[in-house]
Structure 1
Amino acid sequence: MRKLKLQMQMTIDGFVAGPNGEQDWVLLAKPDELGFQKVIELADSCDTLLMGRKMTKGFIGYWENLADNEPDNPARPLAQLIVNMRKIVFSRTETFIAGRNVEVENGDLATVVRALKKEPGKDIMVYGGADFVRSLISEDLIDEYFIVRNPVAIGNGLSIFNDRKKLELVDSITFKNGKILNKYLPV
């Protein structure tokens, strides 16, 4: 059975975005080659990307533009992986969203994700947004948590956890830029 993997940037005070969804703090740390390689490896272990409607339009446009128009950008290998992945956007209001390999799903989140996990293929990735991830966590659908802790505190913002969640730390990598990639499994 395929696993649903969550990869998210998080501040040291536990927020995944500012109060209005701001993520400008993610770029405060200098780029790290090993960290970027880990992000690519993780993306390459998946062939499907789940997303909530709110983050989709900016996300898809950004990565498609980078893949198509920025051949010298060091993030291009990741962009190509993302553009080529099957992307399933969960929405209660939209029935079509433009982009390559994009499908819109209007069905019950838990039912659809459980069915996707049973399909053949590589694992499934989710990057965000906060509300969408919170829904996945509430339904106990995340199999592996890859949390990138950033060396910054923002004081308040959006969290992905509504309730207490017991996780087991199974791996941790510290990067030169101060970020730490922690892999957790649900207990």
Structure 2
Amino acid sequence: MQQWMSVDGFLAGPGGEGDVFAAVADFSASEAHNTTLLASVDEVLLGRRTYEAFREFWPGAHDEPMAQLVNTLPKTVCTTTLTEAPWGTHAPARIVPDAVAHVRELQGTAIVWGSVALMGALLAAGQVDEVELLVAPIALGGGTPLPAIPKLRLLETETWPASVIRTRYAVG
């Protein structure tokens, strides 16, 4: 599970997710890190709202360093409201109604991006092995909080350009 957040624990501010990203002037370290990380991922798990936002951006983001990887990795949308999940000219995402059952049966490695409700459901069911938090240098004072996370054990941390802090934790 990977999530961008503010220093005061909000994933999105009153103006939405863009409030967190607006505080980051340089995404090069994140792009390099995720390019390496995605080489070890078999599937991207998305909730419906994150899928819809990603679908609007990534299929046409030809100049973005990670676009090829993001567009070609298999994606699964965990939703009960969609019947199809197109991804531009790339293979459509698969739809599953029960995220927890899907992850329990999953063979391989998956990453969850964004998708707050999905994150909360998987955490509550004990189906998350690691949490990676990318902390932007901004305090939002309100918005969408990080879901409750059980006990964490720090695995690594580093500081990136633009004062972003990346931390990776084992869950449990």
TM score, norm. by length of structure 2:
0.90
What's the counterpart of residue 178 of structure 1? 163
Counterparts of 2:27 and 2:101, CA distance in 1: 38
1:124 aligns with 2:114: no
Contact 2:45 2:112 (8 Å CA) reproduced = yes
Q: Deviations over 1:90-143 (max 9, x none)?
A: 11121112113311112x321111101xx2x4x211102212211111111111
What's the counterpart of residue 42 of structure 1? 37
Match of 1:82, SS state, is helix
Runs (5+) with no aligned partner, structure 1: 1-5, 68-72
Give the aligned residue type for 1:180: I
Give the aligned residue type for 2:170: L
Contact 1:131 1:160 (8 Å CA) reproduced = no
Runs ≥4 in structure 1, deviation > 4 angstroms?
none
Counterparts of 1:90 and 1:53, CA distance in 2: 7
Runs (5+) with no aligned partner, structure 2: none
1:109 aligns with 2:87: no
Percent identity of paired positions between Structure 1 and Structure 2: 27
TM score, norm. by length of structure 1:
0.83
What's the counterpart of residue 68 of structure 2? 80
Contact 2:11 2:20 (8 Å CA) reproduced = no
Contact 2:46 2:113 (8 Å CA) reproduced = yes
What's the counterpart of residue 60 of structure 2? 65
RMSD across aligned positions (CA): 1.7
Give the aligned residue type for 2:86: A
Counterparts of 1:79 and 1:127, CA distance in 2: 15
